[in-house]
Chains A and B, each alone.
Chain A
Amino acid sequence: MDLFEYQGKELFAAAGIDVLRSRLARTEAEAVRATEEFGYPVAVKAQVLTGGRGKAGGVRLVSRPEELPEAVAPILRMTIKDKPVRAVLVEEGATVLRELYVAITLDRHAKSPVLIFSRRGGVDIEQVAADDPGALLRLPLSAASAECREHCDSIAAAAALGDATLEAALVRTVERLWTLYRERDLSLVEVNPLAVVDAPVRIVALDAKVVVDDNALYRQPELAARRPDEDERERAAREAGVTYLTLDGTVGVLGNGAGLVMSTLDMIGAAGGAAADFCDVGGGARAQRIAAALDIIASDRRVRSLLVNIFGGITRCDEVAAGILAWREHTSVDLPLVVRLDGNNAADGLAMLERAGCAGLTVTQSAREAVDAAVTAAAGKKGDPA
């Protein structure tokens, strides 16, 4: 689960990691109230769960009250990489003296966390990794230990801040980030930049990128309660127990298992089509879950054909067929539907669909035939205007 910058900074502040004063604003009036609290200049920053915010014009510096409306209003109307901006963070201004980079994430190969530090922050860190690998420290951490003291000297040396008080503040910040990462079950905490600012000279987290391990939300109730707004289909999917992601195409896809669904999307692409979604009903789905998933997929008005691709291991194909038939009974959606069933109880499932003899239903036993039929149907069917 990704957190917004303002949510990340709330976590930072509670963990004793210094941030600048800021207020969340959903309207111009709220932004004005924030500036009354800490004056000018301020930074106005779009709150959106995607990168590239700065390049898209989602961050503005405002030094005078009369400039505030013309900065806030356009940002609140922006959509950055398909994500509508619903709020801005209004943050007090500061003079930045140095920009550093620090992140903690999982090193999948080492199977343990790793701390990444660079004296060159505030820029694209992948570019730093490519141009100047020496400017990047990678320090392994142990999941079994709360300690990261052994790395503090090398971080302080790399930062070369030339001031013992600042160095101590930097080390303290890194230690608190590691504690936060461990205790809150994070998958990523990234501060870019971690800045040295003036008046008074101190170290603050100017940005906050925080990702929480979804699997650990059961024991992080405070973080689970911060779940950012989802769109209606994503929420319905979570409640139905299916994994659903909206994509850009016109073929609605339902399958069992992430690998099989990804493979189905690849085959649709290779056949000249594009999937409208990624929908994995998981293992052992019963009829009810299949029907709920079809409702969610078909509620996307761009969808022009539906493809069900099931290879039953624990999943029983007769349950899948029952779910499809139940959905056809109650839905008002009229879309061509292509079904491929193989594996556990496939013969029963196929026979059920055949007996029902629905118009617009094509049944195949190979994934390839099913994909071709669904792509052809999507191309031939005129969709509703989005």
Chain B
Amino acid sequence: MSRRGQHLAADPHYQMSRSQEKLEQQQAIVQQLRLEASLGRLPVSRCIEELKAHCLQHQTRDILITGFADQKENPFAKGKNKACVIL
């Protein structure tokens, strides 16, 4: 520790502000944990059943899975809407 550091560590006012800082940090951690402990949680089985149901229900209209019935409907199909080229 530097001489300045030793000097600081011996200063009660410095100690006080350090410990005040630690106290505030610890208070914030406990406050966050209290908040989390008060949360209602659902069993994983139920949550994943609902995630699964959501995916399956919407999957039939998910174009990146089903693809276009007709490629003509695809705005990004080859060549379509490409920039005009003046020859």
Asked if A pairs with B, the answer is no
